């Protein structure tokens, strides 16, 4: 599987897990943010569905202080929830 194919697969899983909603504000998602800023790291635990507005805030200098705590809280909750990656038959499965 190529890097692009793996990204598309993981992107679909991330969107499904978060119901196509931005994890920061709840708006419809159009971007997948790489939490560790490594675009080659397409593990589901590194992908975060987010709207363009919140994505700009995360990367923007003006809003960084306001958005960063929200993102860090979400990331910590995801880690505590054992990096659940896929909804399958109503059950969550952990990444192997």
Higher local confidence (pLDDT), 50 or 61: 50
Q: Is 37 left (phi over 0), alpha (psi -120 to 50) or beta?
A: left
Q: What is the pLDDT of residues 6-53, one digit of tens each?
A: 888 998 998 888 889 998 888 987 889 988 888 889 998 889 899 988
- pLDDT on residue 87: 39
pTM score of the predicted model? 0.58
Distance CA 9, CA 44 (A): 9
């Amino acid at each position: 599987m190529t890097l692009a194919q793996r990204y598309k697969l993981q992107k679909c899983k991330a969107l499904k897990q978060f119901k196509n909603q931005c994890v920061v504000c709840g708006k419809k998602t159009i971007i997948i943010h790489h939490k560790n800023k490594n675009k080659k790291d397409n593990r589901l635990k590194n992908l975060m569905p987010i709207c363009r507005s919140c994505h700009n805030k995360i990367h923007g200098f003006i809003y960084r202080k306001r958005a960063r705590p929200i993102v860090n809280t979400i990331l910590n909750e995801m880690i505590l929830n054992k990096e659940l990656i896929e909804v399958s038959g109503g059950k969550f499965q952990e990444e192997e």
